[in-house]
């Protein structure tokens, strides 16, 4: 039996979540979904999500982050180049009747923008705790060459949700040239796991050639020194 407010999740997929509110849930429906998840492999069927391939299928339960008696309704997806936040996607009223999709540049400016060819963002005021969101994302992002740092916000507190390393299977894009170009300029591939790791055979040859090509370009400034 599940009690309280929690989420049943699958370790080997994306979006495979079942919400439990106050211990009330349809056990039969939950088991139906869980069995379906355990039969599936997220990396196949054209998704090209190779990062999921070697994850052992598991079910687990997390305590749900709540806000005013409801699941937290504001989420921030911070797109990083090292320790520099490039832009932020904010989802408002995630489980409500009129959820909003908002995009901000690092300064907190929003604009109407096409996202991944599926939907348009809307204008929105910069969140009151914008500086805290950036600080948390940039502290968490510094460990990687590129990542998406997902955060929740409730009652002024920032909660870490998860890392995502190739959002939308690597095809995530926004129709905001200035911001998207900035992401490419600040993303230093030489800091990636592949280029900082020794390999064997052809992989090492490819790694050396790629790094040599990248080193021919003007070196990137240290991300921590950028304004």
Q: Are 60 and 74 in a shared domain? A: no
Give residue 129's domain range.
70-186
Distance CA 132, CA 119 (A): 28
Q: Are residues 114 and 196 in the same domain?
A: no
**Residue 225 is assigned to a structural domain of this protein:** no
Percent of the chain with pLDDT over 90: 65
Q: Who contacts 90 (Cβ-Cβ below 8 Å, separation ≥6)?
A: 74, 75, 76, 77, 100, 101, 102, 103, 104, 124, 127
- 171-184 pLDDT, tens per residue? 788 899 999 889 88
Specify if 158 maps to a domain: yes
Check whether residue 84 and residue 166 sit in a common domain: yes
Q: Which has the higher per-residue pLDDT, 205 or 48?
A: 205
Q: How confident is the model at residue 73 (pLDDT cuts 50, 70, 90)?
A: confident
pLDDT at res. 47: 64
User: For 141-153, what is the mean pLDDT?
Assistant: 94
Give the residue-averaged pLDDT of 151-169.
Answer: 88
Q: What pLDDT sits at residue 221?
A: 46
Tokens of 213: 């090509």
Q: Are residues 107 and 135 in the same domain?
A: yes
Mean per-residue pLDDT, 146-169: 89
pLDDT digits (tens, 9 = 90+) for 189-223: 999 999 999 999 999 999 999 999 998 875 454 44
Q: Which residue has the higher pLDDT, 68 or 65?
A: 65
pLDDT for the residue 67? 82
Judge if 128 and 102 occupy the same domain: yes
Same domain, 177 and 77: yes
- What pLDDT score was predicted for residue 45? 65
177 lies in the same domain as 159: yes
CB 150 within 8 A of CB 76: yes
Percentage with pLDDT > 70 across the chain:
94
Q: Are residues 110 and 60 in the same domain?
A: no
Does residue 20 lie within any of the structural domains?
A: yes
Are 20 and 54 contained in the same domain? yes
* Nearest in space to 133 (alpha carbons), one of 109, 110, 146, 149: 149
pLDDT at 166 over 90: no
Q: Say what the pLDDT of residue 225 is.
A: 45
Q: What CATH number does the domain containing 146 carry?
A: 3.30.470
So what's the pLDDT on residue 210? Answer: 94
Provide the pLDDT confidence category of residue 49 given band limits of 50, 70 and 90: confident
153 and 167, same structural domain?
A: yes
Read off the pTM. Answer: 0.87
- What's 198's DSSP letter? -
Q: Is residue 226 part of a domain?
A: no
Pick from 94, 105, 102, 98: nearest CA to 180: 105
Q: What's the domain count of the chain? A: 3
pLDDT bin (cut points 50, 70, 90) of residue 46 is low
For residue 179, the number of C-alpha atoms closer than 13 Å in the C-beta half-sphere is 24
Q: What is the pLDDT of residue 170?
A: 79
Q: Is the pLDDT of residue 15 over 50?
A: yes
């Amino acid at each position: 039996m599940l009690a309280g407010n929690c989420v049943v999740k699958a370790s080997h997929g994306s979006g495979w979540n079942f919400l439990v509110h106050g211990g009330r849930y349809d056990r039969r429906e939950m088991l139906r979904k869980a069995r379906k998840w355990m039969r599936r492999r997220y990396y196949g069927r054209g998704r090209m999500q190779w990062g999921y391939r070697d994850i052992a299928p598991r079910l687990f339960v997390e305590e749900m982050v709540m806000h005013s008696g409801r699941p937290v309704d504001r989420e921030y997806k911070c797109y990083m180049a090292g320790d520099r936040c490039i832009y932020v996607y904010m989802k408002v009223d995630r489980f409500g009747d009129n959820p909003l999709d908002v995009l901000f540049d690092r300064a907190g400016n929003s604009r109407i923008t096409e996202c991944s060819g599926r939907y348009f963002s809307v204008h929105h005021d910069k969140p009151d705790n914008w500086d805290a969101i950036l600080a948390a994302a940039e502290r968490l992002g510094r460990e990687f060459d590129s990542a998406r740092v997902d955060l929740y916000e409730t009652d002024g507190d920032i909660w870490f949700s998860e890392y995502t390393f190739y959002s939308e299977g690597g095809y995530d894009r926004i129709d905001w040239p200035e911001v998207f170009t900035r992401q490419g300029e600040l993303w230093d591939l030489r800091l990636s796991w592949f280029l900082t790791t020794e390999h064997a055979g052809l992989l090492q040859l490819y790694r050396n050639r790629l790094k040599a090509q990248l080193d021919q370009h003007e070196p990137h400034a240290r991300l921590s020194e950028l304004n």
